Amino acid sequence: MAENTNAFSMAQQQFDHVADLLGLDHQVRELLRWPLREYHLRLPVHMDDGGLRVFQAFRVQHNDALGPNKGGLRFHAAETADTVRALAMWMTWKCAVADIPLGGGKGGVVLDPATLSANEKERLCRAFIRELWRVLGPRQDVPAPDVGSNAQMMGWMMDEYSRITGQYTPGVITGKPVGGGGSLGRKEATGYGVIYTLREAMKCLNIDSTQTTAAIQGFGNVGQYAAKGFISELGGKVVCVSYWDREDRAAYTVYKQDGIDPEFLMNITDQYGSIDKDKAVQADYSIEEGDDWITKEADVLIPAALEGQINAETVKNIHERVKIVAEGANGPTTPEADQVLMERDIFVVPDFLCNAGGVTTSYFEGVQNDMNFYWTKSEVLEKLDDKMTQAFKGVYDMAQTQDVFMRDAAYMVAINRVVKGMELRGWL
Ligand code: NAD
């Protein structure tokens, strides 16, 4: 039977498995298996040439027992209602595992953002807010950037919301530009959070991080700062990064045995995470077509692109040297591939723990917006390190005491907190 890579069925399958382990009541499962609310939109937007384009968009609010819904807005041509549902559900677990008082939400617009001009993007962002503003707000639902969206787009959305409500409301959205209500350290936060949890994993496994190498899939926001952090915080070497070339419609792996220079590669990478191949070759990088990142001899794999990338097929290609998979992306590993990782005793730092640095710093951004007082970058990163370290320890302790896989342990910590939150509010 073909492997099911539908993200929402995967998210439900992972949840069902842990609900069994926890012996959750049937009605509680019914509440948590599905989003509490969903909005499906058609957004008419005028293009620069005078024509009209209608965009399909979603906002899903999975569960807000612990606080306002929180989650990014993904602008991607392959976006579907099910992907957004899965991502919203994972946000609920992510906020709970990071122990921040927020619920789970996610949004998406079906389009390739590179096909729009800046003005068209601005009109689309403002149209999205005009349709949804009634169900958004610092105490209701707080979007943020994700794949295909960026700080400037968040700035436009915050402005539209503030205009409609007649009140400057920076806390309605996070990931805003610094100086426009954004937080220092947000740009680095997800990638660095991956590294903080990886550092803790290496301590538990008695691995000397300075002797390690990593292979990374994806060289966008998460991949870039994970690469930087792997070198600056852990003293390790990154041997390759891969990316999706939008012109060639193909994946490439950029490889250097002696270790890549993330700063150099960032300078030749466009805003969508595509690397200039010619410039990389001139600097002695080798370029391989395809998904070879996963086959590389490395101690750590960091998937930081999209979901379903480590699956029943690709998992077979993981090199025997790999000891840890640190999931920067959301849902990069299918349940079938998880089985193989477990059998091979590869330690997994699961996605909603590993990449919780982004939402944690988004939470810090909201706190700073509420106070109207802003922290320095080192204050933000210090607080982030503290939160990520605590979150990792909570999950690792659960894995040890219950003798379960790290992903199951993360789900157990998160589900317990959400169920407790629902009980305290009298929902159950
Ligand atoms: P991004 O758009 O900045 O970068 C994505 C990168 O992945 C790009 O380099 C792109 O070329 C590459 N890519 C896409 N498809 C690929 C493929 N098939 N093979 C190889 N490379 C491919 O996105 P991002 O913000 O870095 O997010 C990456 C992942 O991390 C997503 O799963 C996202 O949901 C998750 N995430 C992001 C954040 C955040 O703060 N940005 C927080 C938590 C989780």
Atom of ligand 1 nearest to the CA of 359: 42
The per-residue b/e assignment along 301-328, b for 16 or more CB within 10 angstroms, e otherwise, is bbbbbbbbbbbeebbeebeeebbbbbbb
What is the band of 246 on the pLDDT scale with cuts at 50, 70, 90?
A: confident
Question: How many helices and strands (H and E) does the chain possess?
Answer: 14, 12
Burial class (CB in 10 A: 0-12, 13-18, 19+), 139: exposed
Per-residue pLDDT, 271: 85
Q: What domains are defined for the chain?
A: 35-171 (3.40.50.10860), 187-349 (3.40.50.720)
The whole model's pTM is what?
A: 0.94
Q: How confident is the model at residue 307 (pLDDT cuts 50, 70, 90)?
A: confident
- The Cα-based distances of 263 to 227, 327, 385, 414 in angstroms read 9, 22, 22, 35
Interval between CA 134 and ligand 1 midpoint (Å): 30
How far is C-alpha 14 from the geometric centre of its chain's CA atoms? 17
| pLDDT computed for residue 272 by the predictor | 86
| Cα(413)–Cα(157) distance, integer angstroms | 34
- Please, which pLDDT band fits residue 291 given cuts at 50, 70 and 90? confident
pLDDT digits (tens, 9 = 90+) for 175-222: 999 999 999 999 999 999 999 999 999 999 999 999 999 999 999 999
Could you say which of 70, 94, 106, 387 is catalytic?
A: 106
How does pLDDT run across 17-31, given as a tens digit for each residue? Answer: 999 999 999 999 999
Distance 219 CA to ligand 1 centre (A): 7
The reply to whether ligand 1 has any atom less than 6 angstroms from the CB of 217 is yes
Q: Tell me how far apart the alpha carbons of residues 28 and 13 are, in angstroms, rounded to a whole number.
A: 15
Q: What is the pLDDT of residue 2?
A: 63
Q: Given this model, what pLDDT does residue 147 score? A: 87
Report which residue type is found at 15.
F
pLDDT 10s digits, 98-138? 999 999 999 999 999 999 999 999 999 999 999 999 999 99
pLDDT at 1 over 60: no
Average pLDDT over residues 255-276: 95
Atom of ligand 1 nearest to the CA of 356: 43
Percent of all residues in the chain with a pLDDT value above 70, rounded to a whole number:
99
Atom of ligand 1 nearest to the CA of 293: 20
Give the whole-angstrom CA distance, residue 410 versus residue 395. 5
Ligand 1 site, residue 311, Cβ cutoff 6 A: no
Report the distance separating Cα 170 and Cα 159, nearest Å: 8
